[in-house]
Amino acid sequence: MTLTSPAGTPAGPDGPHVPPFAVISGAQVQSALRGREQQVVQLVEDTYRLHGDGGTSNPPSYFLRFTDRPDSRIIALPASIGGQAPVDGLKWISSFPRNVAAGLPRASAVLILNDHATGYPYACLESSIISATRTAASAAAAADRLSRGRPRPRRAGFFGTGLIARYIHTFLAATGWEFDTIGLYDVSADSAAGFGRYLEASRTDPERRPATAATRVTVHTDPEELIRASDLVVFATVAARPHVADPAWFAHHPLVLHISLRDLAPEILLDAANIVDDVDHCLKADTSPHLAEQLTGNRDFLDGTLADVLAGRVVVPGDRTVVFSPFGLGVLDLAVGAFVHDAVARSGDLRVIDDFFHELRRYG
C-alpha cells in the first residue's frame, strides 16, 4: 500500500515526509459542513461502528479546572482512528459559562490533527463548530436508531436552548424529522425567546430545511409541562448536577437525548432503558449514569451502546422511556475534523503555514 501524507503526496523511498501544516478557520469549517448533515450523520455512525469494533483509541479526557473559577473548565480529548483513513489528534475545548453574560459563546475549541505515519501535526482547526456538529450528528443518529420499533416522535421538547440545541434541531430537520409541536424551556427567558426566533427564521430559510410551516412552537415556563408534552426530549444544558428528579414526568415513555449528561436524577435512569456512547467514558465525573452506578453498585441498568444498537446486538424496547447519554467521544471530533480538512484541501483553499516546522535536520 502506498503511504501518503495528509496532502496526498506519496512518501519518498526513505519513508514519509513531514506534512505541510495548515490552519482552518471557523468560516472555512462552517462552509465545509453546510448542507452536508446527512453525510456527517453517516460518518458519525461509521465511526461509532469502528469504535465498537475496537478500531479506535479514545483515552480518558483530561479536565483542567480552576480554583478561582469553579464553574469553568478546559478539556483535552486525545483520540486515534484506525481503518483505511487513520488519523490521530486532540481536541482542546473550554467551557466558560460566564461568557454568556458578556455576550460571548460559552465554549471555544481547537482541534489538532496528527499525521498517522510521522506523528507531525498537519492541521489546526477551529473546533467549536466541529464539536457542535458531531454532537448534533450523534443526537440525530441516536434519535433515528432509537425510535425504530416505536411511534416516531412528533412532539419535540428542547430543555436548554443554546447553540447545541440549535445545531441538534438543524440536524434533525436536515435528516427528515418533522414535528407537529416544538416546546422550549430554558432558565433564561432570553435564550428561549432567541431559539424561538431561530425556529421562525428556519421556516423560510431553505438551507435550514424547516420541518413544516405548520409546526407550533411553545415556550414553557414549567419544566414538567415541557417534558410531559414531548415525545422526544433534548437536554442541552450546562447543569452540573441533576435537577429533574421525578420519574412520573416520563410516564408517557418519551425518547430522551440526554446530551448534557447531568440533568437527570439516577432514579429516572433506573426506570428507563439506557443507551450510552461508551460505557467507561460515560460512567465517570458524576454524570447521571455515574450517579446511578454509585446508587446501585452495578451497571445492570445499562442496556448497551449506540454501536450495539447499530450492529443489532441490542433491541430498544418500544414500551419504556429510552435515554441516550453520550459522553462525547474524541474520535467523532477527529472524524469530522478530517472530513473538513479534506473538503478544504479539495477546494484549493487550504492555508498552509510555510516553514512551520523549522528544525528538521537532526544535526543541524
> Domain containing 287 — which CATH number?
3.40.50.720
Q: Do 87 and 156 belong to one domain?
A: no
Q: Do 158 and 123 belong to one domain?
A: no
In a domain, 49, yes or no: yes
Q: Do 209 and 319 belong to one domain?
A: yes
Q: Do 233 and 218 belong to one domain?
A: yes
d(CA 177, CA 174): 7
Cβ(6)–Cβ(123) under 8 Å? yes
Nearest Cα to Cα of residue 57 among 334, 266, 284? 334
In a domain, 47, yes or no: yes
Pairing of β 322-325 and β 73-81: unpaired
pLDDT at 202: 82
Q: Do 238 and 320 belong to one domain?
A: yes
In a domain, 242, yes or no: yes
- Compute the CA torsion angle 186, 244, 170, 184 (nearest 10 deg): -40
Cell triple for residue 14?
526513505
Q: Do 236 and 182 belong to one domain?
A: yes
Q: What is the pTM of this model?
A: 0.91
What is the residue type of 195? F
Cell triple for residue 15?
519513508
In a domain, 6, yes or no: no
In a domain, 9, yes or no: no
∠ CA 47-108-77, rounded to 5° = 40
Q: Do 60 and 154 belong to one domain?
A: no
Q: Do 156 and 304 belong to one domain?
A: yes
Q: Do 44 and 166 belong to one domain?
A: no
Q: Do 108 and 257 belong to one domain?
A: no
> Can you list the alpha helix ranges (DSSP code H) found in the chain?
26-33, 37-52, 128-146, 163-174, 189-202, 223-228, 266-270, 279-282, 288-296, 306-311, 330-347
Cβ(250)–Cβ(256) under 8 Å? yes
Q: Which residue has the cell 469553568?
A: 72
In a domain, 188, yes or no: yes
Q: Which residues contact 18 (CB under 8 A, 6 or more apart)?
A: 118, 120, 357, 360
Taking each helix axis as running N to C, give the angle between helix 189-202 and helix 163-174, from 0 to 180 degrees, rounded to the nearest 10. 20
pLDDT at 9: 41
Nearest Cα to Cα of residue 150 among 311, 320, 323? 320
Q: Tally the domains of the chain.
A: 2
In a domain, 147, yes or no: yes
Which parts of the chain have pLDDT scores under 50?
A: 1-5, 7-11, 209-211
Q: How far is CA 60 from CA 83, 282, 284, in A?
A: 21, 10, 10
Q: Do 179 and 241 belong to one domain?
A: yes
Q: Where residue 42 sits, what CATH number does that domain have?
A: 3.30.1780.10
pLDDT at 139: 98
List the domain range (segments joined by +) for residue 39: 22-130+330-352
Cell triple for residue 230?
414531548
> What single string gives the DSSP state of each residue in 22-51?
EEE-HHHHHHHHTT-HHHHHHHHHHHHHHH
pLDDT at 207: 55
Q: Do 209 and 265 belong to one domain?
A: yes
d(CA 337, CA 125): 7
pLDDT at 251: 98
In a domain, 13, yes or no: no
